[in-house]
């Protein structure tokens, strides 16, 4: 008989209980006992939910107080020396310090594959061998088993753990680390086995990346060793993409089960069925763990039947494509969603039912679940034919996009002249990235407006006050190009999504982004169209308050796409172009209203990069095109800015150049302008504002410090092309920090102007 499982379940709790309790614990408002008790409750609920849904086994170890990579680092004592130095003796304090800093710096954080989840980067030293120091994984398995659940401990595999970490000792390779980690894995597996576990899930998502032969070989040797050390059945999980040239290796590893992501890599099923050795079971990742759409269950059953006819049902497991932690917890509480749209969706809780349904179709025959399959087909048909989804006028416009629409009238050199004479700015102009601190007062009023306690007009009045204040502050500071401060925006994607057609918003559709931080991405379900101008009135109001140029502020198409749940019924590129056209219309309306400087933020451009080299180029091409579509319609004299955060640009600088924005601002204060190198090497021609003020910290940088950074930038960028600005928006800071910091920024720029 085929079995049904999930690879992991959201650990945030149905109402973000984990966030609330951990933040309260950090603030000293909840005790450790309360924290541990709440975590235990969430785990128990999740296990019960999965068992009651009909899963044959539940994952244990998918829970984490912060991050699963951190959990393993902490358990195996992959703890950099700096933590010992500050004398962290308490395990939990150590754990949270590694996560968030405190007595010493936190571990670095970076994105987990191409998701919006962030993990903490383990730092390996020159230790000859690792061993288990903290037994949380075992404790949690025992907790599940003690409550009568058939649990399968889940851990990150050694190759993924090592390759995603950083080796601090020169000469030690990540593959050497894999070997040094194995004694710890052996210990862990043996402990699970003696505690009564029958299975262990080892996650090796790096198998969906480009690996070389040595890396594949290291994995093979690791699993040879681990399989000999234990009688546990090893469930090897891969996800986030097809295995490609790693498939053959994966199929021949000494494991009991190989899990394949068939949502992202359906094409690998045939090869896997043909190549699976006699004793291997395949786990079919048929239900998408990363999106919010109902599955096509008939199609999933067809794939599962194909596997069963080749392998027999005993060698088939029905599963989610990856952990369900990347989708929101439960759809059933969403009472405000348009019921028509809601009928097309499935969150983690609903996905469990889908998994079980496919299993039943296999084990009991389709007839046993015919009514459910029919209902599912009806939902899909309704979605496909819904006028909410397709807007022929939009499709027509996207299809009519020509090369010319992606090109500015003249090249940058000609534009620069026109812009400089139109704007009359000093050398090294000062500006900010867009947002200013949002006052508690404004947040209160926004909440009241959403509850209907104040009218939209009253709310607008409060926003006007904020804008007027932001403009006044910037004038007093002597900034050259002003911003209105984004007071009307709760979030840079949500704000535009709410004004565009084709978007839906949930009340509680949270997913973990990092630690206690959750995001609630909009759902793009249909063709995107701008109904009316979105920012023009606010811009006009702010410009009316100053004779200095005020930037128009827009979020770029790639960022809107990337930070939403996107349609699975058309290529991402098409959706991105639709958004690009909507932003283009806004750009042109701003220009027509008299706006001379328009910033289109693309902080998420890099995040969208596919995992495999072979796919990167195509993505970058359409992503750049979508940005150009949104920006290229304006006159030469209109200055287009873009903004990006995160410092890992090096590999995409040519694409950033191809965006052809007149000015780019980006994060660089912390890296001491390091990334300018990449721009210089690629002969970047346009203007640049490398951030000189690290806005992630409450620290107020001195004028001297910022001057030094600007001088460093001037070594490689002529002063006609350099801007002075912070790293990013200022909305997370307080006015008391922002004012002195910007005062210093302005005087740094002025001092340089006077002397160079
Ligand atoms: N304009 C946005 C702001 O200042 C940009 C934010 C971002 O880069 N994430 O808040
Ligand atoms: Zn930013």
Q: Give the whole-angstrom CA distance, residue 419 versus residue 414.
A: 9
What ligand is nearest to the CA atom of residue 695? 2
Element (H, E) at 75: helix 68-75
Q: Which two tokens stand for residue 603?
A: 């902080």
Does any ligand 1 atom lie closer than 6 A to the CB of residue 726? no
Q: Indicate whether 673 pLDDT > 90.
A: no
Q: Which helix (H) or strand (E) holds 555?
A: strand 552-555
Distance 255 CA to ligand 1 centre (A): 46
Determine the Cα–Cα distance for residues 601 and 113; give it in Å rounded to an integer: 23
Atom 4, ligand 1: residue with shortest CA distance: 729
Q: 558 C-alpha vs ligand 1 centroid, how far in Å? A: 14
* pTM score, whole prediction: 0.95
CA-to-CA distance for 213 and 54, rounded, in angstroms? 40
The residue annotated as part of the active site, out of 137, 326, 641, 696, is 696
570 has a pLDDT exceeding 90: yes
Ligand 1 atom nearest to 603, measured from its CA? 8
Contact 7, 289 (CB under 8 A): yes
Residue with tokens 């928006």: 729
Find out whether the beta carbon of 433 lies less than 6 Å from any atom of ligand 1. Answer: yes
Residues in CB range of 380: below 8 A, 6 or more apart = 294, 296, 344
| Helices (H), ranges, 195-329 | 213-229, 247-251, 268-275, 297-311
Taking only the tens place, the pLDDT of each residue in 619-654 is: 999 999 999 999 999 999 999 999 998 767 788 999
Give me the residues paired with residue 199 across strands.
233
Closest ligand to the CA of 647: 2
Q: Are strands 58-60 and 233-237 parallel, antiparallel or unpaired?
A: unpaired
Model confidence band, residue 696 (pLDDT cutoffs 50, 70, 90): confident
Least distant ligand from the CA of 496: 1
Residue 418 has pLDDT above 80, yes or no: yes
Q: How many CA atoms lie within 13 A of 42 on its CB side?
A: 25
H helices of 240-399, in order, are: 247-251, 268-275, 297-311, 339-342, 348-364, 370-385, 392-399
Triad 721, 726, 729: Cα angle to 5°: 120
How many whole angstroms separate alpha carbon 192 and alpha carbon 138?
6
Pairwise CA distance, residues 62 & 46, whole Å: 10
Smallest CA-to-CA distance from 731 within 432, 431, 486, 435 is with 435
Residue 288 near residue 265 (C-beta atoms within 8 A): no
Residue 6 to residues 44, 58, 308, 417, Cα–Cα distance (Å):
15, 7, 19, 59
Residue of minimum CA distance from atom 1 in ligand 1: 434
Q: How far apart are the C-alpha atoms of 446 and 459, rounded to whole Å?
A: 7
Question: Which H or E run includes 200?
Answer: strand 199-203
Cβ contacts of residue 403 below 8 Å, gap of 6+? none
User: For residue 728, which ligand has an atom nearest its CA?
Assistant: 2
Q: Is 696 a catalytic residue?
A: yes
Question: For 483-497, what is the mean pLDDT?
Answer: 96
Pocket lining: 645 vs ligand 1, CB cutoff 6 Å: yes
Ligand 2 ion: nearby residues, β-carbon < 5 Å = 603, 645, 728
* Percent of the chain residues topping a pLDDT of 90: 92
Ligand having the closest approach to the CA of 729? 1
Please report which helix (H) or strand (E) contains residue 463, including its range: helix 456-477
670 band by pLDDT with thresholds 50, 70 and 90:
confident
Contacts with 46 (C-beta within 8 Å, 6 or more apart), sequence order: 9, 10, 11, 58, 63
**554 CA distance to ligand 1 middle (Å):** 10
Nearest CA to ligand 1 atom 5: 729
The model's pLDDT over 443-463, given as tens digits with 9 standing for 90+, comes to: 899 999 989 999 999 999 999
| Residue among 479, 487, 492, 727 whose CB has most ligand 1 atoms within 8 A, to mutate | 492
302-314 pLDDT, tens digit each:
999 999 999 999 9
In degrees and rounded to multiples of 5, residue 18 shows phi and psi of -65, -40
Q: Which atom of ligand 1 is nearest to the CA of 435?
A: 4
User: Taking a C-beta distance cutoff of 8 angstroms, is the pair 631, 584 a contact?
Assistant: yes
The rounded distance, in Å, linking the Cα atoms of 108 and 390 is: 43
**Is the CB of 603 within 6 Å of ligand 1?**
yes
pLDDT in tens, 246-260: 999 999 999 999 999
Q: Spell 157-186 as b/e; 16+ CB within 10 A means b.
A: bbbbbbbbbebeeeeeebbbbbbbbbbbbb
Give nearest CA residue, ligand 1 atom 3. 729
Cβ atoms 667, 644 nearer than 8 A: yes
Smallest CA-to-CA distance from 368 within 351, 356, 378 is with 356
Nearest CA to ligand 1 atom 8: 603
In the block, residue with structure tokens 């002063």: 719
* pLDDT recorded at residue 647: 62
Averaged confidence pLDDT in the chain:
96
Six-digit token string for 465 = 């006050």
Q: Is 492 in the pocket of ligand 1 (CB under 6 A)?
A: yes
Q: Which residues of 595-625 are buried (b: 16+ CB within 10 A; e: fewer)?
A: bbbbbbbbbbbbebbebeeeebeebbebbbb
Q: Give distance in angstroms: CA of 122 to centre of ligand 1.
A: 29
The tokens for 230 are 């234990």
- Which of left, alpha, beta for 58 (phi over 0: left; psi -120 to 50: alpha)? beta
Tokens, residue 141: 């398995």
Cβ of residue 644 lying under 6 Å from some atom of ligand 1: no
Q: Are 193 and 170 contacting, i.e. CB atoms less than 8 angstroms apart?
A: no
Identify the CA nearest to 81 among candidates 180, 204, 211, 168: 168
Token readout for 182 is 């194995």
| pLDDT tier at 682, thresholds 50, 70, 90 | confident
Give the pLDDT band (50/70/90) at residue 677.
Answer: confident
Report CA Rg, the chain.
27
Bridge-partner residues for 689, per DSSP? Answer: 665
Would you say the CB of residue 394 lies under 6 angstroms from ligand 1? no
Work out the angle between the directed axes of helices 32-53 and 136-146 (0-180°, nearest 10). 50
Contacts of residue 460, defined as CB under 8 A and 6 or more positions apart, other chains included, come to: none
Question: How far apart (Å, rounded) are the C-alpha atoms in residues 267 and 436?
Answer: 48
* 492 CA: nearest ligand 1 atom: 2
Tally helices (H) and strands (E) across the chain: 28, 21
**Lookup: tokens for 293:** 């759409």
With a 6 Å cutoff on the Cβ, whether 556 touches ligand 1 is no
Residue 672 confidence (pLDDT):
76
- Those residues with Cβ within 8 angstroms of residue 365's Cβ, 6 or more apart along the chain or in another chain: none
CA of 247 to the centre of ligand 1 (A): 41
pLDDT, tens digit, 9 for 90 and up, residues 712-723: 999 999 999 999
Cα(434) to ligand 1 centroid in Å equals 6
d(CA 420, CA 718): 15
Edge-to-edge order in the sheet of strand 316-320: 3-5, 316-320, 281-287, 257-261, 233-237, 199-203, 151-156, 58-60
Q: Give just the sign of the alpha carbon dihedral 262, 265, 270, 276.
A: negative
671 pLDDT band (50/70/90 cuts)? confident
Name the closest-CA residue to atom 10, ligand 1.
729
**Strand ranges (E), 241-299:** 257-261, 281-287
Q: Does the pLDDT value for residue 152 go beyond 90?
A: yes
């Amino acid at each position: 008989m085929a079995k049904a499982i999930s690879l992991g379940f959201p650990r945030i709790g149905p109402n973000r209980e984990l966030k609330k309790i951990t933040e309260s614990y950090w603030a000293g408002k909840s005790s450790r006992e309360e924290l541990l008790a709440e975590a235990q409750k969430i785990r128990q609920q999740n296990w019960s939910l999965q068992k009651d849904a009909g899963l044959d086994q539940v994952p244990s170890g998918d829970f984490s107080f912060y991050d699963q990579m951190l959990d393993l680092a902490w358990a195996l004592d992959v703890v950099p020396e700096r933590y010992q130095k500050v004398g962290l003796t308490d395990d939990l304090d150590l754990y949270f310090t590694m996560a968030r800093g405190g007595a010493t710096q936190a571990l670095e954080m970076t994105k987990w594959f191409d998701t919006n989840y962030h993990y903490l980067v383990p730092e390996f030293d020159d230790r000859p061998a690792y061993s288990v120091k903290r037994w949380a994984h075992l404790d949690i398995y025992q907790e599940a088993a003690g409550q009568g659940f058939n649990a399968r401990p889940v851990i990150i595999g050694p190759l993924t753990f090592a390759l995603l970490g950083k080796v601090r000792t020169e000469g030690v390779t990540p593959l050497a680390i894999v070997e040094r980690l194995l004694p710890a894995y052996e210990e862990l597996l043996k402990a699970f086995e003696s505690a009564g576990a029958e299975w262990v899930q080892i996650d090796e998502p790096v198998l969906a990346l480009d690996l070389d032969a040595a890396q594949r070989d290291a994995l093979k040797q690791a699993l040879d060793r681990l399989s000999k050390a234990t009688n546990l059945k090893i469930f090897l999980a891969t996800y986030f993409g097809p295995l490609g040239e790693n498939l053959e290796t994966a199929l021949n590893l000494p494991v009991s089960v190989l899990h394949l992501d068939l949502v992202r890599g359906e094409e690998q099923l045939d090869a896997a069925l043909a190549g699976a050795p006699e004793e291997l079971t395949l786990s079919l990742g048929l239900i998408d763990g990363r999106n919010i759409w109902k599955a096509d269950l008939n199609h999933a059953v067809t794939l599962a039947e194909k596997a069963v006819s080749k392998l027999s049902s005993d060698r088939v497991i029905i599963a989610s494509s990856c952990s369900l932690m990347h989708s929101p917890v439960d759809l059933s509480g969403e009472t405000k969603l348009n019921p028509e749209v809601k009928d097309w969706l499935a969150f983690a809780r609903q996905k469990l039912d889908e998994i079980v349904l496919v299993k039943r179709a296999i084990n009991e025959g389709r007839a046993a679940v015919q009514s459910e399959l029919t209902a599912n087909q009806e939902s899909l048909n309704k979605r496909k034919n819904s006028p909410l989804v397709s807007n022929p006028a939009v499709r027509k416009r996207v299809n009519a996009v020509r090369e010319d629409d992606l090109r500015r009238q003249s090249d940058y050199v000609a534009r620069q002249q026109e812009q400089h004479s139109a704007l009359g700015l000093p050398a090294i102009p000062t500006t900010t990235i867009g947002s200013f601190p949002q006052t508690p007062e404004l947040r209160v009023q926004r909440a009241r407006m959403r509850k209907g306690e104040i009218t939209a007009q009253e709310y607008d009045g409060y926003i006007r006050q904020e804008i007027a204040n932001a403009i006044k502050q910037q004038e007093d500071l002597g900034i050259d190009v002003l911003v209105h401060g984004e007071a009307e925006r709760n979030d840079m994607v949500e704000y535009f999504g709410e004004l565009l057609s084709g978007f839906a918003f949930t009340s509680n559709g949270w997913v973990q982004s990092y630690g206690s931080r959750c995001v609630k991405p909009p759902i793009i379900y249909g063709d995107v169209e701008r109904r009316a101008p979105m920012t023009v009135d606010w811009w006009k109001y702010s410009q009316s308050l100053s004779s200095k140029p005020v930037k128009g502020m827009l979020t770029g198409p790639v960022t809107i796409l990337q930070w939403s749940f996107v349609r699975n019924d058309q290529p991402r590129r098409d959706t991105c172009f639709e958004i690009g056209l909507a932003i283009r219309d806004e750009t042109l309306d701003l220009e027509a209203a008299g706006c001379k400087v328009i910033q289109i933020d693309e902080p998420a451009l890099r995040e969208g990069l596919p995992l495999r080299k072979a796919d990167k180029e195509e993505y970058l091409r359409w992503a750049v095109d979508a940005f150009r579509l949104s920006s290229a319609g304006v006159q030469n004299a209109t200055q287009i800015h873009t903004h990006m955060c995160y410092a890992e640009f090096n590999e995409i600088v040519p694409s950033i150049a191809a965006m052809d924005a007149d000015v780019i601002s980006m994060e660089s204060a912390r890296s001491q302008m390091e990334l300018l190198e990449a721009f210089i090497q690629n002969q970047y021609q346009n203007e640049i504002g490398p951030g000189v003020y690290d806005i992630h910290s409450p620290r107020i940088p001195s004028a001297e410090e910022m001057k030094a950074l600007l001088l460093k930038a001037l070594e490689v960028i002529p002063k006609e092309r350099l801007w002075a600005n912070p790293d990013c928006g200022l909305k997370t800071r307080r006015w008391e920090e922002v004012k002195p910091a910007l005062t210093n920024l302005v005087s740094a720029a002025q001092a340089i102007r006077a002397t160079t």
